[in-house]
Structure 1
Amino acid sequence: MKQRYYGLIFALLLVLVGNVRADTLEEGVAAARRADFATALKIFTPLAEQGSAIAQYNLGLMYDTGRGVKEDFTIAFNLYQQAAAQGDSAAQNNLALMYVEGRGVAKNLVEAIRLFKLSANQGYVNAQDNLSEMYRRGQGVVRNDAEAFKWASLAANQGLPTAMTRIAGMYFEGKGVTKNYAMALKWMRLAASRGEPVAQSNLAEFYVEGDAVGKDLPRAYMWFKISAGLGNGWAAGRAQVLSKRLKQEQIIWADNTAKECLAQKFVGCD
Protein backbone atom coordinates (compact mmCIF):
# COMPACT_ATOMS: atom_id res chain seq x y z
CA MET A 1 0.00 0.00 0.00
CA LYS A 2 1.93 2.97 -1.29
CA GLN A 3 2.00 6.09 0.84
CA ARG A 4 3.21 9.62 0.27
CA TYR A 5 4.95 12.13 2.49
CA TYR A 6 2.73 15.08 3.30
CA GLY A 7 3.53 18.55 4.53
CA LEU A 8 3.01 21.33 2.00
CA ILE A 9 0.14 23.65 2.91
CA PHE A 10 -0.21 27.38 3.45
CA ALA A 11 -0.87 27.83 7.15
CA LEU A 12 -1.69 30.45 9.75
CA LEU A 13 -1.62 30.44 13.52
CA LEU A 14 -3.35 33.56 14.82
CA VAL A 15 -0.71 34.86 17.20
CA LEU A 16 1.19 38.11 17.54
CA VAL A 17 4.94 38.03 16.91
CA GLY A 18 6.63 41.24 18.06
CA ASN A 19 5.03 44.02 16.03
CA VAL A 20 3.63 41.59 13.44
CA ARG A 21 -0.14 41.81 13.30
CA ALA A 22 -2.12 38.60 13.01
CA ASP A 23 -4.60 40.18 10.60
CA THR A 24 -1.74 41.11 8.24
CA LEU A 25 -0.50 37.53 8.32
CA GLU A 26 -4.04 36.35 7.68
CA GLU A 27 -4.20 38.57 4.58
CA GLY A 28 -0.98 36.96 3.30
CA VAL A 29 -2.23 33.41 3.86
CA ALA A 30 -5.59 34.25 2.27
CA ALA A 31 -3.79 35.68 -0.78
CA ALA A 32 -1.64 32.56 -1.13
CA ARG A 33 -4.64 30.25 -0.85
CA ARG A 34 -6.43 32.08 -3.66
CA ALA A 35 -3.21 31.92 -5.72
CA ASP A 36 -2.53 35.66 -5.51
CA PHE A 37 1.13 35.01 -4.89
CA ALA A 38 2.28 38.51 -5.82
CA THR A 39 0.31 39.92 -2.90
CA ALA A 40 1.41 37.09 -0.61
CA LEU A 41 5.05 37.75 -1.48
CA LYS A 42 4.72 41.47 -0.66
CA ILE A 43 3.17 40.63 2.70
CA PHE A 44 5.34 37.71 3.76
CA THR A 45 8.77 39.04 2.77
CA PRO A 46 9.02 41.95 5.23
CA LEU A 47 7.28 39.98 7.96
CA ALA A 48 9.74 37.11 7.53
CA GLU A 49 12.60 39.58 7.82
CA GLN A 50 11.05 40.86 11.06
CA GLY A 51 11.20 37.32 12.44
CA SER A 52 7.65 36.05 12.01
CA ALA A 53 7.84 32.26 11.97
CA ILE A 54 4.48 32.07 10.20
CA ALA A 55 5.68 34.36 7.42
CA GLN A 56 9.00 32.49 7.20
CA TYR A 57 7.19 29.19 6.83
CA ASN A 58 4.76 30.42 4.18
CA LEU A 59 7.45 32.27 2.23
CA GLY A 60 9.57 29.12 2.42
CA LEU A 61 6.67 27.16 1.00
CA MET A 62 6.43 29.55 -1.93
CA TYR A 63 10.11 29.03 -2.76
CA ASP A 64 9.82 25.29 -2.13
CA THR A 65 6.99 24.92 -4.66
CA GLY A 66 7.84 27.72 -7.09
CA ARG A 67 4.56 29.55 -6.54
CA GLY A 68 4.91 33.28 -7.15
CA VAL A 69 8.68 33.05 -7.16
CA LYS A 70 11.34 31.01 -8.92
CA GLU A 71 11.70 27.63 -7.23
CA ASP A 72 14.73 27.76 -4.93
CA PHE A 73 15.22 24.94 -2.44
CA THR A 74 18.15 26.66 -0.72
CA ILE A 75 16.08 29.73 0.12
CA ALA A 76 13.17 27.51 1.14
CA PHE A 77 15.44 25.49 3.42
CA ASN A 78 16.81 28.61 5.12
CA LEU A 79 13.34 30.03 5.71
CA TYR A 80 11.98 26.74 7.06
CA GLN A 81 15.03 26.48 9.30
CA GLN A 82 14.40 29.93 10.79
CA ALA A 83 10.74 29.11 11.45
CA ALA A 84 11.52 25.64 12.79
CA ALA A 85 14.03 27.09 15.26
CA GLN A 86 11.13 29.12 16.70
CA GLY A 87 9.11 25.93 17.18
CA ASP A 88 6.84 26.19 14.13
CA SER A 89 5.56 22.62 13.71
CA ALA A 90 4.68 22.97 10.02
CA ALA A 91 8.16 24.29 9.25
CA GLN A 92 9.75 21.48 11.26
CA ASN A 93 7.81 18.95 9.22
CA ASN A 94 8.70 20.49 5.85
CA LEU A 95 12.33 20.92 6.87
CA ALA A 96 12.39 17.22 7.76
CA LEU A 97 11.01 16.43 4.30
CA MET A 98 13.88 18.34 2.73
CA TYR A 99 16.36 16.27 4.73
CA VAL A 100 14.60 13.07 3.63
CA GLU A 101 14.64 14.03 -0.05
CA GLY A 102 17.91 15.98 -0.17
CA ARG A 103 16.27 19.18 -1.42
CA GLY A 104 18.30 22.29 -0.58
CA VAL A 105 20.45 20.29 1.80
CA ALA A 106 22.32 16.98 1.89
CA LYS A 107 20.16 13.99 2.83
CA ASN A 108 20.18 13.35 6.55
CA LEU A 109 17.58 10.88 7.77
CA VAL A 110 18.65 11.14 11.41
CA GLU A 111 18.02 14.90 11.38
CA ALA A 112 14.74 14.29 9.54
CA ILE A 113 13.58 11.97 12.31
CA ARG A 114 14.53 14.52 14.98
CA LEU A 115 12.49 17.20 13.24
CA PHE A 116 9.53 14.93 12.52
CA LYS A 117 9.43 14.03 16.23
CA LEU A 118 9.55 17.68 17.29
CA SER A 119 6.63 18.45 15.00
CA ALA A 120 4.66 15.27 15.70
CA ASN A 121 4.95 15.77 19.47
CA GLN A 122 3.27 19.14 18.99
CA GLY A 123 0.35 17.29 17.39
CA TYR A 124 1.09 18.28 13.79
CA VAL A 125 -0.85 15.65 11.86
CA ASN A 126 1.33 15.52 8.72
CA ALA A 127 4.46 14.99 10.82
CA GLN A 128 2.75 12.16 12.71
CA ASP A 129 1.88 10.54 9.39
CA ASN A 130 5.39 11.04 8.02
CA LEU A 131 7.02 9.71 11.18
CA SER A 132 4.81 6.64 10.95
CA GLU A 133 6.00 6.07 7.39
CA MET A 134 9.65 6.43 8.43
CA TYR A 135 9.18 3.75 11.10
CA ARG A 136 7.29 1.54 8.63
CA ARG A 137 10.11 1.76 6.09
CA GLY A 138 12.97 1.80 8.59
CA GLN A 139 14.31 5.12 7.28
CA GLY A 140 16.53 6.94 9.77
CA VAL A 141 15.33 4.58 12.50
CA VAL A 142 15.18 0.85 13.10
CA ARG A 143 12.03 -0.45 11.45
CA ASN A 144 9.32 -0.67 14.09
CA ASP A 145 5.77 -1.56 13.12
CA ALA A 146 4.44 -0.81 16.60
CA GLU A 147 5.80 2.75 16.44
CA ALA A 148 4.52 3.09 12.89
CA PHE A 149 1.07 2.08 14.05
CA LYS A 150 1.18 4.40 17.07
CA TRP A 151 1.97 7.50 15.04
CA ALA A 152 -0.41 6.58 12.23
CA SER A 153 -3.19 6.09 14.78
CA LEU A 154 -2.62 9.58 16.18
CA ALA A 155 -2.82 11.05 12.68
CA ALA A 156 -5.82 8.92 11.72
CA ASN A 157 -7.72 10.05 14.79
CA GLN A 158 -7.12 13.63 13.65
CA GLY A 159 -8.86 12.71 10.39
CA LEU A 160 -5.94 12.26 7.97
CA PRO A 161 -7.03 9.82 5.22
CA THR A 162 -3.52 8.55 4.37
CA ALA A 163 -2.98 7.60 8.01
CA MET A 164 -6.39 5.90 8.11
CA THR A 165 -5.33 3.89 5.08
CA ARG A 166 -2.08 2.88 6.73
CA ILE A 167 -3.61 1.64 9.98
CA ALA A 168 -6.29 -0.19 8.01
CA GLY A 169 -3.54 -2.04 6.17
CA MET A 170 -1.71 -2.75 9.42
CA TYR A 171 -4.86 -4.17 11.00
CA PHE A 172 -5.39 -6.30 7.90
CA GLU A 173 -1.82 -7.66 7.90
CA GLY A 174 -1.35 -7.77 11.69
CA LYS A 175 1.70 -5.50 11.61
CA GLY A 176 2.28 -3.46 14.73
CA VAL A 177 -1.13 -4.48 16.01
CA THR A 178 -3.17 -7.67 16.39
CA LYS A 179 -4.78 -8.67 13.09
CA ASN A 180 -8.36 -7.47 13.03
CA TYR A 181 -10.35 -7.55 9.81
CA ALA A 182 -13.27 -5.62 11.30
CA MET A 183 -10.99 -2.71 12.23
CA ALA A 184 -9.25 -2.92 8.87
CA LEU A 185 -12.61 -2.60 7.12
CA LYS A 186 -13.74 0.24 9.40
CA TRP A 187 -10.68 2.39 8.75
CA MET A 188 -10.46 1.56 5.04
CA ARG A 189 -14.09 2.54 4.55
CA LEU A 190 -13.52 5.75 6.48
CA ALA A 191 -10.47 6.68 4.41
CA ALA A 192 -12.29 5.80 1.19
CA SER A 193 -15.20 8.03 2.21
CA ARG A 194 -12.69 10.88 2.66
CA GLY A 195 -11.66 10.55 -0.98
CA GLU A 196 -8.36 8.70 -0.54
CA PRO A 197 -7.76 6.82 -3.84
CA VAL A 198 -5.42 4.22 -2.33
CA ALA A 199 -7.99 3.37 0.33
CA GLN A 200 -10.68 3.11 -2.33
CA SER A 201 -8.67 0.64 -4.39
CA ASN A 202 -7.75 -1.31 -1.25
CA LEU A 203 -11.43 -1.47 -0.27
CA ALA A 204 -12.14 -2.78 -3.75
CA GLU A 205 -9.60 -5.54 -3.15
CA PHE A 206 -11.36 -6.41 0.10
CA TYR A 207 -14.53 -7.02 -1.92
CA VAL A 208 -12.61 -9.07 -4.50
CA GLU A 209 -10.95 -11.34 -1.94
CA GLY A 210 -13.79 -11.53 0.59
CA ASP A 211 -11.54 -11.58 3.66
CA ALA A 212 -12.50 -8.45 5.58
CA VAL A 213 -15.97 -8.27 4.05
CA GLY A 214 -18.25 -10.51 1.99
CA LYS A 215 -17.12 -10.99 -1.60
CA ASP A 216 -18.92 -8.57 -3.92
CA LEU A 217 -17.36 -8.17 -7.37
CA PRO A 218 -19.73 -5.48 -8.70
CA ARG A 219 -19.03 -3.33 -5.63
CA ALA A 220 -15.31 -4.00 -6.01
CA TYR A 221 -15.53 -2.82 -9.61
CA MET A 222 -17.39 0.29 -8.44
CA TRP A 223 -14.64 1.22 -5.99
CA PHE A 224 -11.94 0.60 -8.58
CA LYS A 225 -13.79 2.95 -10.95
CA ILE A 226 -14.13 5.60 -8.24
CA SER A 227 -10.43 5.39 -7.43
CA ALA A 228 -9.55 5.49 -11.12
CA GLY A 229 -11.70 8.60 -11.48
CA LEU A 230 -9.40 10.29 -8.98
CA GLY A 231 -6.33 9.47 -11.05
CA ASN A 232 -5.33 6.04 -9.73
CA GLY A 233 -4.03 4.31 -12.84
CA TRP A 234 -3.48 1.01 -11.05
CA ALA A 235 -7.17 0.96 -10.06
CA ALA A 236 -8.17 1.64 -13.67
CA GLY A 237 -6.23 -1.44 -14.74
CA ARG A 238 -7.80 -3.57 -12.03
CA ALA A 239 -11.26 -2.41 -13.08
CA GLN A 240 -10.55 -3.45 -16.65
CA VAL A 241 -9.42 -6.91 -15.56
CA LEU A 242 -12.36 -7.35 -13.20
CA SER A 243 -14.89 -6.29 -15.84
CA LYS A 244 -14.25 -9.59 -17.65
CA ARG A 245 -15.75 -11.43 -14.67
CA LEU A 246 -18.94 -9.36 -14.56
CA LYS A 247 -22.21 -9.38 -16.44
CA GLN A 248 -23.12 -6.33 -18.49
CA GLU A 249 -25.91 -5.31 -16.12
CA GLN A 250 -23.46 -5.46 -13.19
CA ILE A 251 -21.02 -3.21 -15.01
CA ILE A 252 -23.78 -0.72 -15.82
CA TRP A 253 -24.89 -0.66 -12.16
CA ALA A 254 -21.31 -0.18 -10.92
CA ASP A 255 -20.52 2.55 -13.46
CA ASN A 256 -23.67 4.49 -12.60
CA THR A 257 -23.14 4.07 -8.85
CA ALA A 258 -19.51 5.19 -9.15
CA LYS A 259 -20.60 8.38 -10.96
CA GLU A 260 -23.23 9.08 -8.30
CA CYS A 261 -20.70 8.46 -5.55
CA LEU A 262 -18.19 10.87 -7.07
CA ALA A 263 -20.91 13.49 -7.48
CA GLN A 264 -21.99 13.05 -3.84
CA LYS A 265 -18.37 13.29 -2.61
CA PHE A 266 -18.45 9.67 -1.42
CA VAL A 267 -21.35 10.09 1.03
CA GLY A 268 -23.22 6.81 1.51
CA CYS A 269 -21.18 4.91 -1.07
CA ASP A 270 -20.51 1.81 0.97
Structure 2
Amino acid sequence: MKKSLSATLMLLVASVGTHANSQPTATESFKQQLSLAEQGNAEAQYTVATMYSRSQGTPLDNKQAAHWFQQAAEQGHSQAQFNLGISHTLGRGVAKDDQLAMQWLQQAAKQDNANAQFHLGNMYQNGRGMTADISQAMALYRQAAELGHAEAQLNYGFMFANGQGVTKDDKQAVHWFTQASEQGYADAQNNLSIMYALGRGVEADDKLAYMWANLSHYNGGTGDELTEMLSHKMKASDRRQAIEMSSVCLKQQYKGCDKLSESR
Protein backbone atom coordinates (compact mmCIF):
# COMPACT_ATOMS: atom_id res chain seq x y z
CA MET A 1 0.00 0.00 0.00
CA LYS A 2 1.43 3.34 -1.04
CA LYS A 3 1.66 6.09 1.54
CA SER A 4 0.42 9.52 0.60
CA LEU A 5 2.96 12.35 0.31
CA SER A 6 1.36 14.15 3.26
CA ALA A 7 1.65 11.05 5.44
CA THR A 8 5.31 10.64 4.50
CA LEU A 9 6.02 14.26 5.36
CA MET A 10 4.25 13.86 8.71
CA LEU A 11 6.46 10.87 9.51
CA LEU A 12 9.55 12.80 8.52
CA VAL A 13 8.61 15.76 10.68
CA ALA A 14 7.81 13.47 13.59
CA SER A 15 11.13 11.69 13.19
CA VAL A 16 13.10 14.95 13.11
CA GLY A 17 11.16 16.30 16.06
CA THR A 18 11.82 13.20 18.16
CA HIS A 19 15.54 13.36 17.35
CA ALA A 20 15.75 17.02 18.27
CA ASN A 21 13.94 16.49 21.56
CA SER A 22 16.33 13.68 22.47
CA GLN A 23 19.17 16.17 22.87
CA PRO A 24 19.55 17.26 26.52
CA THR A 25 19.34 20.96 27.29
CA ALA A 26 22.29 22.75 28.87
CA THR A 27 20.55 22.61 32.24
CA GLU A 28 19.94 18.86 31.90
CA SER A 29 23.58 18.31 30.83
CA PHE A 30 24.77 20.25 33.86
CA LYS A 31 22.63 18.13 36.21
CA GLN A 32 23.92 14.93 34.61
CA GLN A 33 27.54 16.04 34.94
CA LEU A 34 27.00 17.25 38.50
CA SER A 35 25.64 13.85 39.47
CA LEU A 36 28.76 12.17 38.07
CA ALA A 37 31.03 14.78 39.66
CA GLU A 38 29.50 14.13 43.08
CA GLN A 39 30.35 10.45 42.58
CA GLY A 40 34.01 11.37 42.13
CA ASN A 41 34.35 11.33 38.35
CA ALA A 42 37.30 13.67 37.62
CA GLU A 43 36.31 14.48 34.04
CA ALA A 44 32.77 15.33 35.17
CA GLN A 45 34.18 17.50 37.97
CA TYR A 46 36.23 19.40 35.41
CA THR A 47 33.18 19.76 33.14
CA VAL A 48 31.01 21.04 36.00
CA ALA A 49 33.69 23.57 36.92
CA THR A 50 33.87 24.74 33.33
CA MET A 51 30.08 25.06 33.13
CA TYR A 52 30.02 27.14 36.32
CA SER A 53 32.78 29.38 34.97
CA ARG A 54 30.99 29.90 31.63
CA SER A 55 27.40 30.04 32.91
CA GLN A 56 26.43 27.01 30.86
CA GLY A 57 23.26 25.39 32.19
CA THR A 58 23.77 27.07 35.56
CA PRO A 59 24.35 30.63 36.83
CA LEU A 60 27.93 31.91 36.81
CA ASP A 61 29.65 30.97 40.06
CA ASN A 62 33.44 31.31 40.20
CA LYS A 63 33.64 29.90 43.73
CA GLN A 64 31.86 26.72 42.67
CA ALA A 65 34.02 26.60 39.55
CA ALA A 66 37.19 26.78 41.65
CA HIS A 67 35.80 24.15 44.04
CA TRP A 68 35.21 21.64 41.27
CA PHE A 69 38.47 22.48 39.50
CA GLN A 70 40.20 21.63 42.77
CA GLN A 71 38.29 18.35 43.14
CA ALA A 72 39.43 17.28 39.67
CA ALA A 73 42.93 18.71 40.14
CA GLU A 74 43.45 16.64 43.29
CA GLN A 75 42.74 13.56 41.17
CA GLY A 76 45.47 14.56 38.72
CA HIS A 77 43.36 16.17 35.98
CA SER A 78 45.97 18.37 34.24
CA GLN A 79 43.60 20.89 32.67
CA ALA A 80 41.82 21.32 36.00
CA GLN A 81 45.22 21.86 37.64
CA PHE A 82 46.00 24.51 35.04
CA ASN A 83 42.66 26.27 35.49
CA LEU A 84 42.98 26.20 39.28
CA GLY A 85 46.46 27.70 38.99
CA ILE A 86 45.15 30.50 36.78
CA SER A 87 42.26 31.06 39.21
CA HIS A 88 44.82 31.64 41.98
CA THR A 89 46.85 34.07 39.84
CA LEU A 90 43.69 36.10 39.19
CA GLY A 91 41.97 35.63 42.55
CA ARG A 92 38.94 34.29 40.68
CA GLY A 93 36.74 32.29 43.04
CA VAL A 94 39.68 31.69 45.36
CA ALA A 95 42.24 33.80 47.20
CA LYS A 96 44.86 35.40 44.97
CA ASP A 97 47.99 33.41 45.77
CA ASP A 98 50.98 33.16 43.43
CA GLN A 99 52.55 30.36 45.47
CA LEU A 100 49.48 28.15 45.18
CA ALA A 101 49.19 29.12 41.53
CA MET A 102 52.76 27.92 40.94
CA GLN A 103 52.14 24.63 42.73
CA TRP A 104 49.15 23.77 40.57
CA LEU A 105 50.76 24.98 37.36
CA GLN A 106 53.83 22.86 38.15
CA GLN A 107 51.62 19.80 38.61
CA ALA A 108 49.99 20.39 35.23
CA ALA A 109 53.32 21.21 33.55
CA LYS A 110 54.74 17.86 34.66
CA GLN A 111 51.93 16.23 32.66
CA ASP A 112 52.99 18.09 29.49
CA ASN A 113 50.21 20.63 29.71
CA ALA A 114 51.57 23.26 27.30
CA ASN A 115 49.35 26.06 28.67
CA ALA A 116 50.70 25.44 32.16
CA GLN A 117 54.29 25.31 30.91
CA PHE A 118 53.85 28.62 29.12
CA HIS A 119 52.22 30.44 32.05
CA LEU A 120 54.74 29.00 34.50
CA GLY A 121 57.56 30.12 32.20
CA ASN A 122 56.05 33.59 32.17
CA MET A 123 56.00 33.65 35.97
CA TYR A 124 59.67 32.63 36.10
CA GLN A 125 60.60 35.21 33.47
CA ASN A 126 58.86 38.04 35.33
CA GLY A 127 59.69 36.89 38.86
CA ARG A 128 56.07 36.52 39.87
CA GLY A 129 55.80 34.55 43.10
CA MET A 130 59.53 33.85 43.11
CA THR A 131 62.91 35.29 42.13
CA ALA A 132 63.13 35.67 38.37
CA ASP A 133 64.88 32.73 36.72
CA ILE A 134 65.45 33.20 32.98
CA SER A 135 67.01 29.76 32.54
CA GLN A 136 63.95 28.08 34.02
CA ALA A 137 61.68 30.29 31.91
CA MET A 138 63.59 29.25 28.79
CA ALA A 139 63.29 25.56 29.67
CA LEU A 140 59.53 25.84 30.18
CA TYR A 141 59.01 27.92 27.04
CA ARG A 142 60.91 25.31 25.08
CA GLN A 143 58.78 22.47 26.44
CA ALA A 144 55.58 24.31 25.53
CA ALA A 145 56.97 25.45 22.17
CA GLU A 146 57.85 21.88 21.21
CA LEU A 147 54.27 20.90 22.04
CA GLY A 148 53.05 23.52 19.55
CA HIS A 149 52.08 26.36 21.89
CA ALA A 150 52.17 29.47 19.67
CA GLU A 151 52.73 32.04 22.43
CA ALA A 152 55.57 29.96 23.86
CA GLN A 153 57.10 29.68 20.39
CA LEU A 154 56.94 33.47 20.08
CA ASN A 155 58.53 34.07 23.50
CA TYR A 156 61.18 31.41 22.94
CA GLY A 157 62.07 32.97 19.60
CA PHE A 158 62.11 36.45 21.14
CA MET A 159 64.64 35.32 23.76
CA PHE A 160 66.91 33.95 21.02
CA ALA A 161 66.54 37.17 19.03
CA ASN A 162 67.55 39.28 22.02
CA GLY A 163 70.07 36.93 23.66
CA GLN A 164 67.96 36.84 26.80
CA GLY A 165 68.99 33.89 28.97
CA VAL A 166 70.65 32.27 25.96
CA THR A 167 73.31 33.02 23.35
CA LYS A 168 71.81 35.26 20.70
CA ASP A 169 70.82 33.15 17.69
CA ASP A 170 68.81 34.79 14.92
CA LYS A 171 68.36 31.53 13.00
CA GLN A 172 66.71 29.94 16.02
CA ALA A 173 64.59 33.05 16.46
CA VAL A 174 63.41 32.81 12.85
CA HIS A 175 62.68 29.11 13.29
CA TRP A 176 60.41 29.67 16.27
CA PHE A 177 58.77 32.79 14.85
CA THR A 178 57.99 30.71 11.77
CA GLN A 179 56.47 27.91 13.85
CA ALA A 180 54.12 30.38 15.56
CA SER A 181 53.42 32.26 12.32
CA GLU A 182 52.29 29.05 10.65
CA GLN A 183 49.58 28.86 13.32
CA GLY A 184 48.31 32.28 12.28
CA TYR A 185 49.71 34.09 15.32
CA ALA A 186 49.80 37.78 14.37
CA ASP A 187 52.57 38.89 16.76
CA ALA A 188 54.89 36.16 15.51
CA GLN A 189 54.10 37.08 11.89
CA ASN A 190 55.02 40.68 12.69
CA ASN A 191 58.35 39.60 14.23
CA LEU A 192 59.08 37.29 11.30
CA SER A 193 58.43 40.19 8.95
CA ILE A 194 61.04 42.26 10.80
CA MET A 195 63.60 39.45 10.54
CA TYR A 196 63.09 39.25 6.75
CA ALA A 197 63.20 43.05 6.42
CA LEU A 198 66.50 43.27 8.32
CA GLY A 199 68.02 40.05 7.02
CA ARG A 200 68.44 38.65 10.52
CA GLY A 201 68.69 34.86 10.57
CA VAL A 202 67.54 34.74 6.94
CA GLU A 203 68.46 36.39 3.67
CA ALA A 204 66.81 39.81 3.47
CA ASP A 205 63.64 39.64 1.38
CA ASP A 206 61.29 42.62 1.20
CA LYS A 207 58.52 40.64 -0.48
CA LEU A 208 58.45 38.03 2.30
CA ALA A 209 58.72 40.81 4.88
CA TYR A 210 55.74 42.58 3.29
CA MET A 211 53.79 39.32 3.03
CA TRP A 212 54.20 38.44 6.71
CA ALA A 213 53.47 42.01 7.80
CA ASN A 214 50.34 42.01 5.65
CA LEU A 215 49.20 38.72 7.18
CA SER A 216 49.92 40.03 10.68
CA HIS A 217 47.63 42.99 9.99
CA TYR A 218 44.99 40.63 8.57
CA ASN A 219 45.10 38.63 11.82
CA GLY A 220 44.74 41.72 14.02
CA GLY A 221 48.43 42.53 14.53
CA THR A 222 50.45 45.68 13.92
CA GLY A 223 51.81 44.65 10.52
CA ASP A 224 50.23 47.66 8.81
CA GLU A 225 53.05 49.83 10.19
CA LEU A 226 55.64 47.60 8.52
CA THR A 227 53.80 47.38 5.20
CA GLU A 228 53.67 51.17 5.07
CA MET A 229 57.41 51.43 5.75
CA LEU A 230 58.26 48.74 3.20
CA SER A 231 56.02 50.21 0.53
CA HIS A 232 58.26 53.29 0.36
CA LYS A 233 61.30 51.24 -0.69
CA MET A 234 59.66 48.55 -2.85
CA LYS A 235 58.83 48.68 -6.53
CA ALA A 236 55.11 48.69 -7.29
CA SER A 237 55.48 45.33 -9.08
CA ASP A 238 57.19 43.78 -6.03
CA ARG A 239 54.44 45.11 -3.80
CA ARG A 240 51.78 43.55 -6.00
CA GLN A 241 53.63 40.24 -5.91
CA ALA A 242 53.89 40.43 -2.12
CA ILE A 243 50.13 41.01 -1.87
CA GLU A 244 49.53 38.01 -4.15
CA MET A 245 51.88 35.96 -1.96
CA SER A 246 49.78 36.94 1.07
CA SER A 247 46.67 35.48 -0.57
CA VAL A 248 48.46 32.28 -1.53
CA CYS A 249 49.97 31.91 1.94
CA LEU A 250 46.55 32.34 3.50
CA LYS A 251 45.14 29.60 1.24
CA GLN A 252 48.06 27.36 2.24
CA GLN A 253 47.15 27.99 5.89
CA TYR A 254 50.52 29.71 6.37
CA LYS A 255 52.54 26.57 5.57
CA GLY A 256 55.58 26.64 3.28
CA CYS A 257 55.19 30.36 2.58
CA ASP A 258 58.92 31.08 2.74
CA LYS A 259 59.20 29.39 -0.68
CA LEU A 260 56.71 31.73 -2.37
CA SER A 261 59.26 34.45 -3.05
CA GLU A 262 61.44 32.01 -5.00
CA SER A 263 58.66 31.36 -7.53
CA ARG A 264 58.21 35.05 -8.34
Interval containing the TM-score (normalised by the shorter chain): 0.7 to 0.9
Q: Per-residue deviation at 1:83?
A: 1.0
Q: Per-residue deviation at 1:38?
A: 4.9
Partner-residue secondary structure (3-state), 2:247: helix
1:247 corresponds to which of 232, 235, 240: 235
Aligned to 2:11: none
Q: Per-residue deviation at 1:39?
A: 5.9
Aligned to 1:169: 158
Change (3 A) 1:246 1:40: farther
Asked whether the equivalents of residues 224 and 235 of structure 1 are also in contact (C-alpha less than 8 Å), the reply is: yes
Change (3 A) 1:93 1:262: same
Asked whether the equivalents of residues 113 and 141 of structure 1 are also in contact (C-alpha less than 8 Å), the reply is: no
Q: Per-residue deviation at 1:68?
A: 4.3
Aligned to 1:264: 252
Identity %: 35
Aligned to 2:223: 235
Q: Partner amino acid for 2:231?
A: S
Aligned to 1:190: 179
Q: Distance in 1 between matches of 2:229 and 2:127?
A: 34
| CA displacement 1:132-152 (0-9 Å, x = unmatched) | 111111111211110001011
The answer to whether the aligner puts 1:71 opposite 2:60 as a matched pair is yes
The structure with higher relative contact order (CA 8 Å, sep 6+) is 1
Q: 161-170 vs 244-253, which deviates more?
A: 244-253
Q: Distance in 2 between matches of 1:186 and 1:199?
A: 11
Partner-residue secondary structure (3-state), 2:257: coil
Aligned to 2:49: 60
| CA displacement 1:172-224 (0-9 Å, x = unmatched) | 11122222122111121122112222211110111122222222222111101
Change (3 A) 1:59 1:239: farther
Instruction: Give TM-score, length-normalised by structure 2.
Output: 0.82
Q: Unpaired segments of 5 or more residues in structure 2?
A: 1-22, 259-264
Q: Distance in 2 between matches of 1:39 and 1:224?
A: 47
Q: Partner amino acid for 1:259?
A: S
1:120 corresponds to which of 90, 102, 109: 109
Asked whether the equivalents of residues 59 and 79 of structure 1 are also in contact (C-alpha less than 8 Å), the reply is: yes
Q: Per-residue deviation at 1:235?
A: 2.3
Q: Distance in 1 between matches of 2:168 and 2:146?
A: 19
Instruction: Give TM-score, length-normalised by structure 1.
Output: 0.80
Q: Per-residue deviation at 1:46?
A: 1.4
Change (3 A) 1:242 1:102: farther
| CA displacement 1:80-123 (0-9 Å, x = unmatched) | 11111212111111111111112112321111111111111122
Asked whether the equivalents of residues 181 and 211 of structure 1 are also in contact (C-alpha less than 8 Å), the reply is: yes
Larger helix proportion of the pair: 2
Q: Per-residue deviation at 1:246?
A: 2.8
How many residues in Structure 1 have an aligned counterpart in Structure 2?
A: 236
Aligned to 2:87: 98
Aligned to 2:6: none
Asked whether the equivalents of residues 135 and 144 of structure 1 are also in contact (C-alpha less than 8 Å), the reply is: yes
2:132 corresponds to which of 143, 150, 168: 143
Asked whether the equivalents of residues 52 and 61 of structure 2 are also in contact (C-alpha less than 8 Å), the reply is: yes
Aligned to 2:7: none
Q: Distance in 2 between matches of 1:81 and 1:197?
A: 34
Q: Unpaired segments of 5 or more residues in structure 1?
A: 1-30
